[in-house]
Structure 1
Amino acid sequence: MGATIGGVEACKGPGVPLVGAFSLREALDRVSQGKGCAYSFVDARTVRFSAARPAPPAPRPVVAARPAVVAPEPIAPLAPLVINAGKRSPRLGALAGGVSVIGSPQLQDTGVGETGSVARQTAGFMTTNLGAARNKILLRGLSDGTFTGRTQSTVGTYLDDIPVNYNAPDPDLRLIDVDRVEVMRGPQGALYGGGSLSGIYRIVTRQPELGRYSASVGSTIATTESGSNSYRAEGVINAPIGRVSALRAAVYYDVDGGYLDDVNLRLSNVDKTTRRGGRAAWRATLGDWQLKLSSALQSVSSKDTQYVTLAPGGPRRANQVREIHRNRLSQTSVKISGSGDWGQFESVTGYVTHRYASRYDATVSLSEFSEEALELGVYDESARVRMAIEDMIYTAPAIGRLRWMIGGFLATSIEEGDADLRARSGAVSRSYYDENRKDRLNEYALYGEATYDLGGDWKVALGGRAFKTTVHTRSYVLAPPPGQTRDLDRAASFSGFSPKISIQRDLARGGMIYALSSEGYRAGGFNSGGLTRPSEARRVFRPDHLRNYEVGATLNPLDGRVSLRAALFYDDWRNIQTDQYFASGLSYTANIGDGRNRGLEIEAGWKATPRLTLKANALFNEPKLTRIAPGYGITDSASLPGVPDVSFGSLVTYQRPIAAATLMLTAETSYIGESRLTFDPRFSPTMGGYYTGKLSAQVMTDRWRAAVFVSNPWNSSSDTFAYGNPFSFGQVRQVTPQRPRTWSLALSANF
């Protein structure tokens, strides 16, 4: 029903299933009847349960009248959220590990629409800033490098139950009609397999609602100082089909205006980005079984990258060509789930296609490709990924103190890539490098987890994943002298077991303390690119593994008005895979050595008054390279690149009624500490060490909302990510400034 419900611990006895079409109040009345609890509406879509008050005793005769005393407005506790990140449905705070959830109300109140905005509100969540649908997500200070190449992503991005990327950049899906986003930190290899080395980022969409018609529309207009205007439009509709099924659809169209000028091309605001997409889902309830069909599509097109170079006259953009980027993602899935006295079964079948292409100005690196005098170089690379996935899981009914589940996973993907460098001399243009490559990857896995109640509120959980991954690579490279024309046809197989063990004690009011050990992994592969055949040491990159050791606690003191989550962790990372570049600007993948990270992450919330809520998050860590592979010449002081030692953020929300509406004010800020772009500090200047933030004022009712946002309110131009072009990297200092101060006006209405 799109409602957030908290405080259900106040209701006693087993739950009563509801089948049929009910209004929200009717459903709440039925499930709470005879359970010793009562509910109240915090707002139109937020419900809080509490223990029912005993009936008052019969009134005594009044002896004398006393002045009426106005009771202070009660302060509601921070409502717990329900998550599925553990492939179950535990309450947030009941799952051992560094888990964060941002619910729909907070997403809407703070204007979160893309991945970068999520980063400000969760501890240790960072993204690079190359541009929309070009970035990498980094969690908990675990970075394999800031470049995107052949290595599988360290963070698994999921749309509902289906992974949407392998080694591609984050598709930066628009967060429209989203129920919540879930972030799981630390390796999740036991349940999620490869590609979850440092965690999971999961977008959970709103489900079709049975028996209820609803619709909403919204639009935003924004203006950026010294830049062009931006626009957004979106719409959502939910329509029941009969009594047992419903259809829900969402569409959106965004234009982010550019703000950088290119002095060579004599163009203003070159970095314009357009994003369009939509989703549709149909859900049917058939007794104890449910069927859901869903589909999603998004296309992102950028006219240019968003970096500048440092020159004697100051930062400027001076390229020979526009560095365009296109990213198109589509997903289709079928989910079948059922439950009964026999347990619970769920099967998800999905098919994902992901196409992306980028262009770079390669002019300054042309001397690597030819001894001729060349005037202009253009490098184009593209990839098409097709991925089919089957993931099924059975959860057994509780047997005494034991609960267990078992699952099977099968995935096959095909990636076809093309890279071409063309250069011009006079009026003649020709190709100086071309590679066609095809990778086929199959993964098979059997996984499970069991939890045993030891008594005294103590529980122990054991889990693991047995896996096998096969890789087959074919490549043909055409490279005239001084390059080498060649081909490659190789296959390999990787297998292993990824374990997980945790022990926890449940505390009052939903709190807990825990200790956890988990592991993540990535398969190996082959290098085929470069002007000449890679050396023997670099033709193959090996698998890497990460072991995580963690202790933490979740507390909810002051009757739930305060929520606190803290975790101490130590990560041991062996044979780190990283994408690197030759002097020519062409990429390869290497095992750079071993590393570790240790640190403390904290997230806290405080309902200070009925109208004022404060939230904060922080990560203090010390990422380091502990062993350096031969042949890289990196100093012993090397650190993991792109991740700072310190980062933190805060969110303050204040609301109060005005007439028939509600006024809401929010203030959001975050700090990203200093870091370096590459492993070797000798050739990597410092970046980061900056603040960013957003302010808003909103007036809203149950039917409409009007909001004014200002991003980067102090108009900072700090360097957020010092990389944009591999062909000039190391030859000129590249800087990616923050988007200048941007004012936005957003209007939305519900029907």
Structure 2
Amino acid sequence: MLTTNLGPGRNKLLLRGLADGVFTGRARTTVATYLDDIPVNYNAPDPDFRLVDVERVEVARGPHGALYGAGAMAGVYRIVTRKPDLGQWSAEALATGATTRGGGPSGAVEGYVNLPLVGDMAGLRLSAYHEVQGGYLDDVVQNRSNVDRTERQGARLSFLAQPKDELSITLTGAAQHLRSEDTHYTIRGIGRKRAVLIPEPHVNDIELLTGVVRYSWADAELTSATGFVRHAYGSLFDATPVQENYTARAETSAYSERTRTRMLVQDLVLTSRGASSLEWLAGLYASEARLNSPSELLAQNTGQPNVSVYSELRHETIREFAGYAELAYEPSPGWTLAVGGRLYHIDRRIRSDVASERFAPRSLDRSNQFTGFSPKISLQRQFENGDLVYAVISEGFRPGGVNTGGTLPAPEAQETFSSDRLRNYEMGVKLERFQRRLSLSSAVYYDVWKDIQTDQFRESGIPYTTNAGDAHVLGLEAEFALRTDNGFLAQLNGRVTRTRTANANLEFIPILAKTLPGAPPVSGGALLSYERPVFGDWTGRIVGQAIYVGLSRVSFDPRLPKTGGFTQTRLLAELSRDGRGAQVFVTNTLDPFRDTFSFGNPFTAPQARQITPQRPITVGATLFAAF
């Protein structure tokens, strides 16, 4: 899994090279983000949850439309939090401080408290954190240092009741507030300096309430997951280069875009239990997402800091209803054939009001509907020694929509964008040897993507969504792990992808880049870890990590620059005993200066080559104690 690097709370998750572009807009995300059992994102940038008091992170690669719906075009990213422990009281606290070469200081405090209630039938778990990421870019126009500072804070409270073994009720409330004081890009050739006329802050706030009820009996288990998500985020960009399109009375201009999303989700699923040659699941899903997206171009003058000369107030309501099921049959020992699918219906209504200083106001009210079926079929063979081989065909999909912004209406050919669909053909193998000390997983996949939706920008900088064309993706990925009895661990992973585009939408672009943007042909990572007893009952651990992200395009337009081609490294040493100890770490150890993301501002990008440099070498320490 890769991300863009526009900045915390602005990034886009990418999986397997199945990228519809590197910008976020109104097209639904290609990677479905879940917190436990509830999706938390519709079309927003990644909320960038800090992984505090987390049990595990799951990544399901490839399209999973049959079980997860429209947001799982390229895969699923799921954060599984730790639930209350009903048996004992516990707590943990961590404090981190770090310094960055040429940048501001960074720090974080985090921890949790677990409280059993009513014997072993109920419990509470509270976790919280506060983090500051010091900036490392200086703005020579604004005469400000370390302008790209980011502050993030959040908390999560979980209540678990288990009155009997067959029944559990989990209630969770979580919130996170993230604010970046400025963007993270600069201009090629001036190092870690920048020259932007006005600050470009960003805010990403998310709150959610969820309730999960599980009831099981001899042959089946029923799970009801209900969730409400409020996601509010916004950015400000320097729009001075295009202000003459909107007004003649501005010294500088800013483009403000905000979105407030409210999602209500209900997922009800019944699954089989027990040993049987036939296993099954069946579910019903309903959701409603309401998106309010006001945007403005603000003229700025001395004494009149913000005067709106263009605005759009866009309201969007998306309702989805689906039924899904999967049957898995074992015709003979070790063989499993699974067939499943999702029947869905999506209603979408868009209302927009546009006002402009130079043009007459206009309004739009449009509705559309989408009904379809997303299938899945798989065959796997598990051997007595635990080895597994499999083949799977799966699909992902996204509904179409309507473009509304701009001082003038979009041309008729660009007013709407169509649904897109991706079909995945995959074969894989999972091997384990030497009592699970050695493991290898590998998969080869071929994807056919029709009518790719992509978020782009008009020449004026106003975002819109269109269909770029088709693509064929051929990929190979592999993961290797080796563990020894003396505390040594080695993990390697890599992906090689070949993407080819075809059938360009001539209303979007006359010449389509041959490869998908944000899809490097090569990426990989490595982790080496060694731990052993030291100083009696203390444990020492040393970890080295490195990832490589290859070059890829920043757009479907072949004239625009490539991005990536960088390596990130991290070294860590830890000393601990009985849950208490300390760590020291170094990131970006060789302090290279490479471009991690060749984009920052759609309004100023045509003027000069924008880049996002790597954070300079950073040294820090963490103290932790568990009770």
TM-score by length of 2: 0.97
1:576 equivalent to 2:416? Answer: no
Per-residue CA deviation, residues 289-338 of structure 1 (Å, 9 max, x unaligned), is 11111111000011001100125x55631111110011110010111101
- 1:551 corresponds, among 427, 446, 449, to 427
Matches within 5 A, 1:79-118: none
SS in structure 1 of the partner of residue 241 of structure 2: helix
Instruction: State the distance in 2 between where 1:504 and 1:314 align.
Output: 52
1:167 equivalent to 2:43? Answer: yes
Instruction: State the distance in 2 between where 1:209 and 1:387 align.
Output: 29
Q: 2:513·2:556 contact (CA, 8 Å) conserved in 1?
A: no
Letter in 2 for 1:309: I
Q: Which residue does 1:698 correspond to in 2?
A: 574
Q: Which residue does 2:178 correspond to in 1?
A: 300
- 1:505 corresponds, among 373, 376, 381, to 381
Instruction: State the distance in 2 between where 1:636 and 1:580 align.
Output: 14
Q: Which residue does 2:367 correspond to in 1?
A: 491
Q: Which residue does 1:151 correspond to in 2?
A: 27
Instruction: State the distance in 1 between where 2:507 and 2:349 align.
Output: 27
Structure 1 residue 343, shift from structure 2 partner: 1.1
Structure 1 residue 399, shift from structure 2 partner: 7.8
- 2:488 corresponds, among 601, 605, 612, to 612
Structure 1 residue 364, shift from structure 2 partner: 1.4
Structure 1 residue 642, shift from structure 2 partner: 1.5
Q: Which residue does 1:89 correspond to in 2?
A: none
- 1:686 corresponds, among 562, 575, 582, to 562
Matches within 5 A, 1:292-331: 292-311=170-189, 316-331=193-208
For residues 636 and 322 of structure 1, do their structure 2 counterparts lie closer, same or farther at Cα, with a shift above 3 Å needed?
A: closer
Q: Which residue does 1:31 correspond to in 2?
A: none
Letter in 2 for 1:480: E
For residues 147 and 484 of structure 1, do their structure 2 counterparts lie closer, same or farther at Cα, with a shift above 3 Å needed?
A: farther
Structure 1 residue 427, shift from structure 2 partner: 4.9
1:589 equivalent to 2:475? Answer: no
Structure 1 residue 637, shift from structure 2 partner: 4.7
For residues 750 and 491 of structure 1, do their structure 2 counterparts lie closer, same or farther at Cα, with a shift above 3 Å needed?
A: same
1:520 equivalent to 2:396? Answer: yes
For residues 155 and 636 of structure 1, do their structure 2 counterparts lie closer, same or farther at Cα, with a shift above 3 Å needed?
A: closer
- 1:712 corresponds, among 582, 588, 599, to 588
Percent of matched pairs sharing the same residue: 42
SS in structure 2 of the partner of residue 301 of structure 1: strand
SS in structure 2 of the partner of residue 622 of structure 1: strand
Q: Which residue does 2:96 correspond to in 1?
A: 220
Q: Which residue does 2:278 correspond to in 1?
A: 402
Letter in 1 for 2:170: K
Q: Which residue does 2:213 correspond to in 1?
A: 336
SS in structure 2 of the partner of residue 270 of structure 1: coil
Instruction: State the distance in 2 between where 1:490 and 1:566 align.
Output: 46
Q: 1:484·1:533 contact (CA, 8 Å) conserved in 2?
A: no
Per-residue CA deviation, residues 336-368 of structure 1 (Å, 9 max, x unaligned), is 101111411100010000011111111112133
- 2:267 corresponds, among 391, 395, 398, to 391
Instruction: State the distance in 2 between where 1:689 and 1:389 align.
Output: 39
Matches within 5 A, 1:262-281: 262-281=139-158
Instruction: State the distance in 1 between where 2:587 and 2:20 align.
Output: 30
Q: 2:501·2:515 contact (CA, 8 Å) conserved in 1?
A: yes
Instruction: State the distance in 2 between where 1:713 and 1:702 align.
Output: 30
Letter in 1 for 2:312: E
Letter in 1 for 2:148: D
Letter in 1 for 2:236: R
Q: 2:585·2:619 contact (CA, 8 Å) conserved in 1?
A: yes
Q: Which residue does 1:466 correspond to in 2?
A: 343
Structure 1 residue 609, shift from structure 2 partner: 4.6
Q: Which residue does 1:91 correspond to in 2?
A: none
Q: 1:273·1:303 contact (CA, 8 Å) conserved in 2?
A: yes
Q: 1:146·1:677 contact (CA, 8 Å) conserved in 2?
A: yes
SS in structure 2 of the partner of residue 500 of structure 1: strand
For residues 693 and 339 of structure 1, do their structure 2 counterparts lie closer, same or farther at Cα, with a shift above 3 Å needed?
A: same
Q: Which residue does 1:197 correspond to in 2?
A: 73
- 1:642 corresponds, among 488, 503, 518, to 518
Structure 1 residue 623, shift from structure 2 partner: 1.6
Instruction: State the distance in 1 between where 2:626 and 2:191 align.
Output: 48
SS in structure 2 of the partner of residue 508 of structure 1: coil
1:258 equivalent to 2:132? Answer: no
TM-score by length of 1: 0.82
Letter in 2 for 1:195: G
Deviates more, 1:173-182 or 1:395-404: 395-404
Structure 1 residue 523, shift from structure 2 partner: 1.0
Q: 1:634·1:679 contact (CA, 8 Å) conserved in 2?
A: no
Q: 1:638·1:680 contact (CA, 8 Å) conserved in 2?
A: no
For residues 342 and 508 of structure 1, do their structure 2 counterparts lie closer, same or farther at Cα, with a shift above 3 Å needed?
A: closer
Instruction: State the distance in 1 between where 2:2 and 2:20 align.
Output: 13
Q: Which residue does 1:475 correspond to in 2?
A: 352
Structure 1 residue 425, shift from structure 2 partner: 5.2
Instruction: State the distance in 1 between where 2:96 and 2:384 align.
Output: 44
Instruction: State the distance in 2 between where 1:427 and 1:211 align.
Output: 63
The RMSD of aligned alpha carbons is 1.3
Larger Rg: 1
1:439 equivalent to 2:316? Answer: yes
Structure 1 residue 717, shift from structure 2 partner: 1.5
Instruction: State the distance in 2 between where 1:666 and 1:599 align.
Output: 29
Instruction: State the distance in 1 between where 2:509 and 2:261 align.
Output: 35
Q: 2:170·2:212 contact (CA, 8 Å) conserved in 1?
A: yes
Per-residue CA deviation, residues 135-170 of structure 1 (Å, 9 max, x unaligned), is 000000011111110000000000000111100000
Q: 1:421·1:433 contact (CA, 8 Å) conserved in 2?
A: yes
Structure 1 residue 197, shift from structure 2 partner: 0.1
Q: Which residue does 1:38 correspond to in 2?
A: none
Instruction: State the distance in 2 between where 1:210 and 1:581 align.
Output: 52
Structure 1 residue 484, shift from structure 2 partner: 4.8
Structure 2: unaligned runs, 5 residues or longer: none
Q: Which residue does 1:188 correspond to in 2?
A: 64
Letter in 2 for 1:663: G
Letter in 2 for 1:436: L
For residues 569 and 484 of structure 1, do their structure 2 counterparts lie closer, same or farther at Cα, with a shift above 3 Å needed?
A: farther
Instruction: State the distance in 1 between where 2:465 and 2:406 align.
Output: 11
Deviates more, 1:436-445 or 1:729-738: 729-738
Q: Which residue does 1:290 correspond to in 2?
A: 168
Q: 1:282·1:294 contact (CA, 8 Å) conserved in 2?
A: yes
Q: 1:184·1:200 contact (CA, 8 Å) conserved in 2?
A: yes
Structure 1 residue 624, shift from structure 2 partner: 2.0
SS in structure 1 of the partner of residue 138 of structure 2: coil
Structure 1 residue 404, shift from structure 2 partner: 0.7
- 2:125 corresponds, among 230, 236, 248, to 248
Letter in 2 for 1:300: L
Instruction: State the distance in 2 between where 1:452 and 1:492 align.
Output: 38
Q: Which residue does 2:240 correspond to in 1?
A: 363
Q: 2:30·2:71 contact (CA, 8 Å) conserved in 1?
A: yes
SS in structure 1 of the partner of residue 148 of structure 2: coil
Deviates more, 1:624-633 or 1:437-446: 624-633
SS in structure 2 of the partner of residue 681 of structure 1: coil
Instruction: State the distance in 2 between where 1:509 and 1:266 align.
Output: 65
SS in structure 2 of the partner of residue 556 of structure 1: strand
Instruction: State the distance in 1 between where 2:177 and 2:502 align.
Output: 41
For residues 606 and 368 of structure 1, do their structure 2 counterparts lie closer, same or farther at Cα, with a shift above 3 Å needed?
A: same
Per-residue CA deviation, residues 431-455 of structure 1 (Å, 9 max, x unaligned), is 2210001000100000010100011
Matches within 5 A, 1:643-662: 643-658=519-534, 659-662=536-539
For residues 225 and 406 of structure 1, do their structure 2 counterparts lie closer, same or farther at Cα, with a shift above 3 Å needed?
A: same
Q: 1:608·1:614 contact (CA, 8 Å) conserved in 2?
A: no
